[in-house]
Structure 1
């Protein structure tokens, strides 16, 4: 029987998000309605053809949708991605699962970027693989050391897993680092699986830099996989639509074959909505809205961290929708689980505790993950409630005991 660890962050969200008054744990950009999407699209007619028969539709995703997804990967430094290089899935979580299920087996060794979304290391472990956590450095802005990667490689290493932009820190792996990782993978004939679900929300990078970090598919190495979703940067979590992209046709075929044993295809309505959202001018208008929302809300969050710098510290996120903030007293981390429980109980503000949801209990003590791209009102009201807790209740939060 396959044994898999409880998915801690999803369990936390499931237990608490429906009761939160101020949900600052959400990782998606503020959701939009179909009416909103129609405005972004500049259309006067309905997005959906109500006369269309609801059959399975195109099993791998419609040509229109896969072409629009492929355009998200367009780059001046690589060949255009083709529609055939994309497999549409039921969310990025299925995309990740299918890719890992297909590529990883018993006695394989996997190296996984850390901290990250638990699925990326717990699923390989459940499949019988040995997983080594490649820890990013908080002192170095949550960056990775490629020398560490080289020292971790074993004769049975099969796969390197990345998350760029990174959940929960909002850090970004730079082009130079990605190039070094690709060269290591090429030398050892390893697959690189990169969860890029927060692309292209690079809202806070240095504007003097010539371009945003590229996708992992941009480096001319065939054994690379990118997974993505409509949930995070595109505000449409409710349609449950994601994808796997790769320039390796054999991999795409293998993923499609494995997917036949799960949910076969996405719904035609979901496919239609996603295709419309990723078409022009909707995609440009939607992303611009989310860039602005992320920047404004992040400035508000930064003001809070500065105001309470005696207890709160962070590395300011460069991209995505999440921040990882550490709370301490006298240099010692607070009990982040108790902190989150009391904050939710007393003021209705929801965070995610780092030690429970992103570590083994000792990792990330005192850290909380904050989702900072909800509606403006949610962010402002949530931070005001948080400030009240910091003044009236924070002193009762205990320290985290090892």
Structure 2
């Protein structure tokens, strides 16, 4: 099995720890456990008692009953048995693709998007057609193009909603059109749903609430600010979930006892956490918008209160070399668009802490003046 280098992860593995002003990430300002407890007014929480007293055995293999119930509550028509705990959304995506895609299958993947969604099917021997997003259409793909790409033997359509790196959200009406096309050939629709639009999160529609053969993956890493917990999940119908169970035994045993306890606590306090993150996203988005308005060498299709964005740079230099010089000379980190096959662009994560964001944007502007 051969697989392409994971562009964005390879870049971040090389450079993120050397950045002074990291405005590349797509997580909403990550938290400490103490900050989580303080946010809930829970300084004397029994959380630490649980962590201190629990035995470090394998715990609940698929995730604890509390975890599975809390995740199922995030959807309209999902039961706890349809939820499987994974090692982040990357583990969830891998499990879904590894379980269902075989050599010779036909897969359609939104492109660019999270690289797993097209390069893992390729590595498994599938024929992958790329369903391109278009900057001129606010980074939406064209539904008519999907109709031309789909075949009678199409096995799966892969989406990233909201999209990484652009932050574009596919609305319910558009997803319903995708479902109708998938339904016509019996294809699965796999959607990585780690980015929640925090201006109106109640309006987000999961694929599993629209389509019986829909598969949703998610995690606590992005909208929930806890990538270090390394907990994600798959949600699918009972038949597909049973298929996942068999393959899951080959990819992971459990998420970890401590991690499950933390995940349950985070989900139990979901409303408080998302309220905190909504303030960060909306406040930082205004800072970002004002900066773009004043920066002549940057343009962007703004995301819908999603924690990742894709800026376009008006510079006479490849963005990868520019981003590397930017990091080494100023300490500011972006992800160059080449890592998403979007040359001339860069991923900018505006949902870091306010001080880092403002300083990073200021230094980026100063660096751009060399081209004036």
* TM-score, scaled to structure 2: 0.96
Deviation track 1:63-98 (CA, whole Å, cap 9, x = no partner) reads 101111111224xxxx3x211110000111010001
Alignment of 1:234-313 (within 5 A): 234-246=224-236, 248-279=237-268, 282-309=269-296, 311-313=297-299
Alignment of 1:389-400 (within 5 A): 389-391=367-369, 393-394=370-371
CA distance in 1, matches of 2:117, 2:62: 23
Q: Could you tell me whether the CA contact under 8 Å between 2:282 and 2:305 is conserved in 1? A: no
CA distance in 2, matches of 1:89, 1:185: 26
Aligned position for 1:214: 205
Aligned position for 2:199: 203
CA distance in 1, matches of 2:114, 2:364: 25
> Tell me, which stretches of 5 or more residues in structure 1 are unaligned?
206-210, 396-402
Q: CA deviation at 1:394?
A: 4.1
Aligned position for 2:180: 183
Pair 1:394–1:20, CA change in 2 (3 A) = farther
Aligned position for 1:102: 99
Aligned position for 2:127: 130
CA distance in 2, matches of 1:288, 1:192: 30
Aligned position for 1:45: 45
Range that drifts further, 125-134 or 36-45: 36-45
Aligned position for 1:32: 31
CA distance in 2, matches of 1:204, 1:136: 23
Q: Could you tell me whether the CA contact under 8 Å between 2:89 and 2:194 is conserved in 1? A: yes
CA distance in 1, matches of 2:251, 2:21: 35
Q: How many residues align?
A: 369
Deviation track 1:107-141 (CA, whole Å, cap 9, x = no partner) reads 11110011101111110000000111101121111
CA distance in 2, matches of 1:335, 1:156: 40
Q: Could you tell me whether the CA contact under 8 Å between 1:41 and 1:276 is conserved in 2? A: no
Q: Could you tell me whether the CA contact under 8 Å between 1:165 and 1:319 is conserved in 2? A: no
More helix by share: 2
- Equivalent in 333, 348, 352 of residue 335 of structure 2: 352
CA distance in 2, matches of 1:37, 1:46: 13
Aligned position for 2:310: 324
Q: Could you tell me whether the CA contact under 8 Å between 1:38 and 1:46 is conserved in 2? A: no
User: Are 2:141 and 1:144 equivalent residues in the alignment?
Assistant: yes
Q: CA deviation at 1:382?
A: 1.0
Q: CA deviation at 1:313?
A: 1.3
SS at match of 1:160: strand
> Tell me, which stretches of 5 or more residues in structure 2 are unaligned?
none
User: Are 2:331 and 1:343 equivalent residues in the alignment?
Assistant: no
CA distance in 1, matches of 2:106, 2:273: 40
Q: CA deviation at 1:46?
A: 3.5
CA distance in 1, matches of 2:312, 2:227: 28
CA distance in 1, matches of 2:300, 2:37: 38
Q: CA deviation at 1:204?
A: 7.2
- Equivalent in 80, 85, 107 of residue 83 of structure 1: 80
Q: CA-atom RMSD, angstroms?
A: 1.4
Aligned position for 1:378: 356
Aligned position for 1:399: none
Q: CA deviation at 1:179?
A: 0.6
Moved >6 Å (runs of 4+): none
Range that drifts further, 267-276 or 151-160: 151-160
Q: Could you tell me whether the CA contact under 8 Å between 1:173 and 1:213 is conserved in 2? A: no
